[in-house]
Amino acid sequence: MLGQYIIQDVWGEPPSPIEGWTTVPAGTPTSICGGQTIIGGYNNFGGGASAKKTYTGLPGHYSVNIQFDAYFLDTWDPGEYYRLMVDGVNRYEKEHKFGEDGGTTNICGWYPVDWVTTVNTGTFLHNSTTIELRFTATINDLATNEAFGFKNIQITVDGLCTAACAACFGDDISECYSCNDGWYLSGTTCVTTCPGGYWRDTSTNTCQPCYSSGTGPNYSCLTCSGGEAENCTSCSNSTFLYPNPIGICAATCLDGYWADITDSICQPCYNNTLNTSICACKTCNGPESNHCLSCFNGSFLQPDNEGHCLNTCPSSYWRDASLNKCITCNVTCQSTLVYSFPIIILKNKCNYR
């Protein structure tokens, strides 16, 4: 166990603090009983009376224990109970009949059968950062005939969570219900880095699953920065990230990119920014200018597996604008006389003088 956190209220004499209570009757009435200042008591808390307070800011924990001094004053009847409700749950209930279960002295009030006892609820499970106490009784007479009160409340917050856990069911980092900032719940463990296929949701401090789909066009993320298809940061070996570093996982890459099977990324094709004689690749199989597989309009894929896109074709080739490719000229065309009319047409098509 990592320690305890203790809250004391209406403690000592004079009691401190006594603020923050909502009471019926209103005003947090106090009285002196046996030399002790209590909340409620004779002429204050009779039939229908109650006192309620909420404590906030509890550290991460998984159990609490509550102790207090309970005052049973004057002529309680059989079947009447003193109760402590904690967060709406009955954690203490005691039936009292004057003169039978303790109390033979007039401590305060008018009848010599008062009973004061220290109550301990025992330890019970609790993991909220707030806790509400409500004291009440089922007595049904005026506060001058039957009354109750309390003081010296001690709330012991047991089983403090490890620093990573905001709420827990044990003191180990693997026994968490929720995590503090900078930590993320994975199963029941608070981690700083989520496992593969999950992303860190800072709004809930949890590890949330990445986008998952076995059908295209958007496939499952291997790692991600969010839960949407376009939040992938890496892909499996059969799909490729586009764009990089955050995008979708696709089966094929778009024009202007090539599928890098080593890193499962769509890498950009060569895109000329300096040398105007070498044009950009439309599709490619690598990053260099000679890795082009096809060209954009206005440039032509060069022959002999050179893989460049240029705006001209070499001798004996003509520029096929439908394919954006240099196509070899007809052999007959190449050997025909220049000044014959049909040859002029073929000559110009072949782009040589």
Q: Kindly state whether residues 252 and 319 are assigned to the same domain.
A: no
Instruction: Using DSSP bridges, classify how beta strands 61-74 and 325-328 pair: parallel, antiparallel or unpaired.
Output: unpaired
pLDDT value at position 76? 93
pLDDT value at position 304? 75
Provide the domain limits for residue 260: 210-266
- Angle at 16 (CA atoms; ends 36, 92), nearest 5 degrees: 70
Longest dimension (CA), the chain: 139
pLDDT one-digit tens code per residue, 183-192:
999 999 999 9
Q: Kindly state whether residues 219 and 295 are assigned to the same domain.
A: no
Indicate whether 171 belongs to any domain.
no
CA 251, distance to chain mean position in Å, is 31
pLDDT of 349 > 90? The answer is no
pLDDT one-digit tens code per residue, 214-263:
988 999 999 999 999 999 999 987 999 999 899 999 999 999 999 999 99
Q: Give this prediction's pTM.
A: 0.62
Q: Kindly state whether residues 134 and 225 are assigned to the same domain.
A: no
- pLDDT band of residue 8 (cuts 50, 70, 90) is very high
Q: Kindly state whether residues 317 and 219 are assigned to the same domain.
A: no
Q: Which of 231, 266, 301 is the last residue of a domain?
A: 266
Beta bridge partners of 8: 154
Residue 348 phi, psi (nearest 5) = -65, -35
Indicate whether 186 belongs to any domain.
no
Residue with the bigger pLDDT between 133 and 337: it is 133
Q: Kindly state whether residues 287 and 153 are assigned to the same domain.
A: no
CATH number, domain containing residue 336: 2.10.220
- pLDDT band of residue 4 (cuts 50, 70, 90) is confident
Q: Kindly state whether residues 102 and 43 are assigned to the same domain.
A: yes
- Cβ contact 76:145 at 8 Å: no
* Residues in contact with 48: Cβ distance below 8 Å, sequence separation at least 6, in sequence order: 24
Q: Kindly state whether residues 10 and 156 are assigned to the same domain.
A: yes
Q: Which of 121, 137, 160 is the last residue of a domain?
A: 160
CATH number, domain containing residue 66: 2.60.120.260
pLDDT value at position 352? 39
Indicate whether 108 belongs to any domain.
yes
Q: Kindly state whether residues 217 and 298 are assigned to the same domain.
A: no
Indicate whether 189 belongs to any domain.
no
| Secondary structure class of 155 (helix, strand, coil) | strand
Q: Kindly state whether residues 116 and 37 are assigned to the same domain.
A: yes
pLDDT of 341 > 70? The answer is no
pLDDT one-digit tens code per residue, 150-179:
999 999 998 889 999 988 988 899 999 999
Please state whether the peptide bond connecting residue 78 to the residue before it is cis, i.e. omega within 30 degrees of 0. no
Q: Kindly state whether residues 115 and 18 are assigned to the same domain.
A: yes
| Secondary structure class of 225 (helix, strand, coil) | coil
* Rounded Cα distance, 298 and 237, in Å: 35
Domain count, the chain: 3
Average predicted confidence (pLDDT) for the chain: 90
pLDDT one-digit tens code per residue, 275-315:
667 899 999 999 999 999 999 999 999 987 778 999 999 99
